[in-house]
Structure 1
Amino acid sequence: MSFADLGLSDELLQSVVAAGYDTPTPIQAQAIPSVLMMRDLIGIAQTGTGKTASFVLPMIDILAHGRRRALMPRSLILEPTRELAAQVAENFEKYGKNHDLKMALLIGGVQMGDQVKALSEGVDVLIATPGRLMDLFERGKILLTGCNLLVIDEADRMLDMGFIPDIENICTKLPAQRQTLLFSATMPPPIKKLADRFLSNPKYIEVARPASNNTSIAQHKVKCGSKQKRELLRHLLRTDNVSTAIIFANRKTTVRELAKSLKRHGFAAGEIHGDMDQSSRIAELDRFKDGSISILVASDVAARGLDVKGVSHVFNFDTPWHPDDYVHRIGRTGRGGATGRAFTIYTSEDAEAIANVEKLTGSPIPEITVDFDGKGEEKGVRRQGREDKPREDRPREERPRDEKPREERSRDRGNRRDRSRAEPVAETPRAEVESVAPRSETRTERRARDERNDAHVERSDRRYGRDDRYEQPRREQERSRGRWRDNDPPSKPGEWNGPIPEFLGVSALV
């Protein structure tokens, strides 16, 4: 079967052939005719099988007839991430170059001015993330009453990112009589409930069991210690014939630190994660696509739908927390019928996560043993400015004192102790002692130091109201008032022995 058998227009077929495709994938062969027939559709297929073209191609032919109006897009495509939205926009530009269609991209991280201007001129295809779309809708910058075609792409990712309430809200703003297409790699129960609510008698297409792996990807798992993961990753990058690779980590901080570590060891690496602004993320992706960098360290923001040709390897530096993410991660390689390799580096703490992945995919991941010198050579080597080799392989005279083996350090201490006992220390001449000993303080210097200290105490006393120049010391003052009688004899029984008030010593006759 060829694309010409699917009922596409001649102009669209020319664009497809110019892009280098002639045979549709299974999901494309089943979905395109149904979309052209204006039916609702649920498409389930493993990642990397061409789901994007299965709705982009028929949409171009459907939208070729009709006119656009200001602020009222004719069709809407919802994507979970900015990267996926930009990728779908590239597909529309590539396949729709022979059609007079106008497209707008609504994503966060960029200014709204250009987006609002494009909407005011009228668009045929609106590609948006739910957050930015709702923001513009609440500002009154867009109307959805003229949208007759809705596409919800990567629906399970929408669920993971918490976009399902926004999607339900968006669907209520659209016309009731519309065509809705839902595509995903997995079909969890909440997505099924969403489809039952907003799709009308949809056609269900499933070209692969949900969450199944691509058979063209050779999968392996490698176990190591938690402190050996970076060294093992570098060993695999150097020895497994890697041309281009994507390395996935669970945390954004891990992505940043791992990218810096790879750069220090001479790899052409870049990074992409959620904390980067949109321009930086696009720039890193462009560098990876044009070959400026061969390794891209990424979080799960790049795990869904990212289509880069020629990715030979995928490395899971961290075992994914959600089993579904494993399928999407390794799907970045082995795309379009090509072959790829995927490695998952795990530790004993990741045993449960690996078991969940194998349970979801229905098959165990083959484990391999990699022979590498896992002695953590990165620890301390770079700080010393030495070449990249383990400590034990360096000559003894090159090792710092704290890097010698424990046996050598204890033996050295024992030797020094024995030498101190066996060899008496020669008496140092007095002249040498005087030259080495610190100089004693002169009387003038000592007097100056005392004056400085007294001045400091005086300033402190004046600050806190304890200046002796204006106040008599308390003990002397109390003695003068008769409150202390250190030299008085003991009082007789029955006599007053307390403090004597001052007014008793004042006579009225004076």
Structure 2
Amino acid sequence: MATTFADLGLSDPILRAISDAGYETPTPIQEKAIPYVLMNRDILGCAQTGTGKTASFTLPMIDILSQGRSRARMPRTVILEPTRELAAQVADNFETYGKYNKLNMALLIGGVSFADQEAKLNRGVDVLIATPGRLMDHCERGKVILTDTKVLVIDEADRMLDMGFIPDVEKIVSLMPPLRQTLMFSATMPPEIRRLAAKFLSNPKEITVSPPASTADTITQSVIRVDGRQKRRTLFRLLKDDTITNGLVFCNRKRDVATLYRALEEAGFSTGALHGDMDQYKRLEWLDRFKKNEITILVCSDVAARGLDIPSVSHVFNYDVPTHAEDYVHRIGRTGRAGRKGVSITLASDAESKYLGFIEKLIGKKIPVTDNTDAKEAPVETDDTGVEASNAEDTKPPRKSRSKRTDKAPRENKAPRENEAPRQDAKTREESRGRGGRKSGGRDRDSYYDVNDDPLPDIKDTPFGQTEQVPAFLLRR
């Protein structure tokens, strides 16, 4: 018989909220982690994205927080997230599952007014969800006191490591009491994460529900080999498929996100953009519109690849092959979530083959390669000169032949135009330029010597009347 949420020891208010959300049975990570969290054990959890990690710590934390009360500027629990979007998503989870519990929550992320956040902190919060940088800012201002923290959650620890947040995390942990419960979750478990776990956790229960860096079996993966100059055309063709309900398109660079977004918009696609340099309100607006299906295509950088819970993404397109193999796992983990089917398509040029090899080594299997039918069947677009459009700017016109004239009479000297000085012969031009035969602003080698190539006498001893022995560049000044 399948395990239910009631079998995990959760309270009735939480079970009602779970039922209202439409969930009936826990995922493997939830089934294994929730009982140990309720037992106040430290947890080191490793699970691929899309397996329900967020609920595995939010559900028991709501139960733990149902008893007791918070004090001003002293949060009872702290959840650290690497990105603003992921922090906002965790806040949504607390609102969903904690609606029958009277808990106060504060979200500390960049791009939002300090005054509004400080007002919530002064009223006292049970749950503090934050990115490391913004939490450090509040701590340095004296607006947050962490000496009463009972539970600490470090989510997406491997992403924290990649983004350089570990020094901030270590500083934050040093401000907390040593007797606390710490939960660390990560999609991958490199040696660096294990060293951090040994530093932050006390006798943790290690929970692994799938091999590290594995991809979900519900995702159909494929690679399309394509010339780098044909990527945009191939993507446009793929996006016209009627089976695509909605999709995420990932680029490696933020500027490419903006460029591709504009191109898709001009082509008539319902699209939005998401990258790290955007205003926070604009980022949240695009995410909300995508979740509500007001737009169907969201062009993203890797800021959106980790932990975003958008349940029904049908397709993920890797417009660029990620340079870090782990990012591939997180990108395609946005589809095929909670048992649903998903499709992942990667456009790979020859220059990106080595990154593709790293990915296949990490996930332990070959990704099927699909022919690029667009490149074979689609007519080649040309510009007005007949040059292929995608390569027009890189193509130069052929050089004209420089063969000697053999069939025409020799040219005659043309008469000078009106107001034009007569042409000089070679000897006259040579004499007008001076010795050396070239124009060099008066700094020719010969300009520093007299007629006989003897060194010039000291300028101080030379009478100004003897101009033939004065360097040419002095005369021009």
TM-score by shorter chain over 0.5: yes
Flag the 1:404–1:271 CA change in 2: closer, same or farther, 3 A: closer
The code of the aligned residue for 1:214 comes to A
Matches within 5 A, 1:269-348: 269-348=271-350
CA contact (8 A) 2:45 2:206 kept: yes
**Residue of 365, 384, 389 corresponding to 1:400:** 384
**Residue of 345, 354, 357 corresponding to 1:355:** 357
**Residue of 218, 221, 237 corresponding to 2:220:** 218
**Residue of 259, 263, 266 corresponding to 2:265:** 263
Flag the 1:403–1:202 CA change in 2: closer, same or farther, 3 A: closer
Cross-structure match for 2:83: 81
Structure 2: how far apart are the matches of 1:185 and 1:239?
31
Structure 1: how far apart are the matches of 2:384 and 2:249?
35
Cross-structure match for 1:418: none
Does 1:49 pair with 2:37?
no
Structure 2: how far apart are the matches of 1:349 and 1:279?
36
Structure 2: how far apart are the matches of 1:402 and 1:216?
46
CA contact (8 A) 1:231 1:374 kept: no
The code of the aligned residue for 2:202 comes to S
Cross-structure match for 1:111: 113
The code of the aligned residue for 1:296 comes to L
CA contact (8 A) 1:242 1:313 kept: yes
The code of the aligned residue for 1:75 comes to T
**TM-score relative to the length of structure 1:** 0.75
Shift of 1:498: 11
Name the larger-Rg structure. Answer: 1
Shift of 1:374: 6.2
The code of the aligned residue for 1:400 comes to D
Flag the 1:180–1:10 CA change in 2: closer, same or farther, 3 A: same
Identity of aligned residues (%): 56
**Residue of 223, 245, 248 corresponding to 1:246:** 248
Cross-structure match for 1:22: 24
Structure 2: how far apart are the matches of 1:61 and 1:135?
30
Shift of 1:309: 2.1
Shift of 1:402: 5.2
Shift of 1:67: 0.8
User: Runs of 5+ in structure 1 lacking a partner?
Assistant: 378-388, 393-398, 414-420, 422-440, 447-496, 500-510
**Residue of 177, 180, 185 corresponding to 2:179:** 177
Structure 1: how far apart are the matches of 2:464 and 2:279?
81
**Residue of 59, 62, 78 corresponding to 1:60:** 62
How many residue pairs get aligned? The number is: 397
Shift of 1:239: 2.8
**Residue of 186, 191, 194 corresponding to 2:193:** 191
Query: Deviation digits for residues 301-327 of structure 1, max 9, x if unmatched?
Result: 000001112110000000001100000
Shift of 1:371: 1.0
Shift of 1:198: 1.3
The code of the aligned residue for 2:184 comes to L
CA contact (8 A) 1:70 1:123 kept: yes
Which structure: greater helix fraction? 1
Shift of 1:336: 1.1
- Secondary structure (helix, strand or coil) at the match of 1:301 reads helix
Query: Deviation digits for residues 119-171 of structure 1, max 9, x if unmatched?
Result: 00000000000000001101111100000100000000000000111111111
CA contact (8 A) 1:232 1:374 kept: no
Cross-structure match for 2:470: none
Query: Deviation digits for residues 454-490 of structure 1, max 9, x if unmatched?
Result: xxxxxxxxxxxxxxxxxxxxxxxxxxxxxxxxxxxxx
Does 1:135 pair with 2:119?
no
The code of the aligned residue for 1:167 comes to V
Structure 1: how far apart are the matches of 2:51 and 2:385?
58
Query: Deviation digits for residues 156-189 of structure 1, max 9, x if unmatched?
Result: 0000000111111111110010000001110111
User: Runs of 5+ in structure 2 lacking a partner?
Assistant: 390-396, 401-407, 409-417, 420-462, 466-477
Cross-structure match for 2:404: none
RMSD of aligned residue pairs (Cα, Å): 2.3
CA contact (8 A) 2:226 2:372 kept: no
Structure 2: how far apart are the matches of 1:206 and 1:57?
19
